[in-house]
Structure 1
Amino acid sequence: MTVSRDSARFFGVGLGPGDPDYMTVRALKVLQGADRLVHFSKKGKRGNARTMVDAVIPPDPAREIALVYPITTEVTADDPAYGAAITPFYEESCARLAGELEAGRKVAVLCEGDPFFYGSFMHLWRRLAPRYPTEVVPGITGMSGCWTRAGVPITWGDDVLTVCPATLGAETLLQRLRATDAAVIMKLGRHLPKVRAVLQQAGLHERAVYVERGTMPDEFICPLPDKTDDDAPYFAMILVPGQGRRL
Structure 2
Amino acid sequence: MSEIKGTLYGVGIGPGDPELLTLKAHRIITSVPVIAYPTMENGKVLARAIVADFIRSDQIELPMPLPFSVERSSQPYYDLAAENIAQHLTAGRDVAVLCEGDPMLYGSFMYIFNRLSHSFATEVIPGISSTFASAAMLGAPLTYRNDVLSIMPATLDAEILSDRLAGSDSAIIIKLGRHFAKVKQVLIDLNLIDRALYIERVTMSNQVIKAISTVDPTAVPYWAIILIPSQTKPS
Same fold (TM over 0.5): yes
Matches of residues 89-238 of structure 1 in structure 2 within 5 Å?
89-238=77-226
SS of the aligned residue for 2:179 comes to helix
Matches of 2:41 and 2:150, distance apart in 1: 32
Paired residue for 2:62?
A: 65
Alignment length, in residue pairs? 234
Paired residue for 2:49?
A: 51
Matches of 2:58 and 2:43, distance apart in 1: 16
Structure 1 ranges of 4+ moved more than 6 A = none
Task: Give 5+ residue unaligned stretches, structure 2.
Answer: none
Task: Give 5+ residue unaligned stretches, structure 1.
Answer: 76-81
Matches of 2:76 and 2:228, distance apart in 1: 37
Residue 27, structure 1, aligned to residue 25, structure 2: yes
Matches of 1:114 and 1:95, distance apart in 2: 23
Residue 36, structure 1, aligned to residue 34, structure 2: yes
Distance 1:51 1:126, change over 3 A: same
Sequence identity percentage:
38
Tell me the TM-score normalised to structure 2 length: 0.94
Q: Report deviation, 1:37.
A: 0.7
Tell me the TM-score normalised to structure 1 length: 0.90
Matches of 2:19 and 2:121, distance apart in 1: 28
The CA RMSD measured in Å over matched residues stands at 1.6
Matches of 2:95 and 2:202, distance apart in 1: 28
SS of the aligned residue for 1:205 comes to coil
Q: Report deviation, 1:222.
A: 2.2
SS of the aligned residue for 1:183 comes to strand
Deviations 1:36-58 (A, max 9, x none): 11000113413111111123336
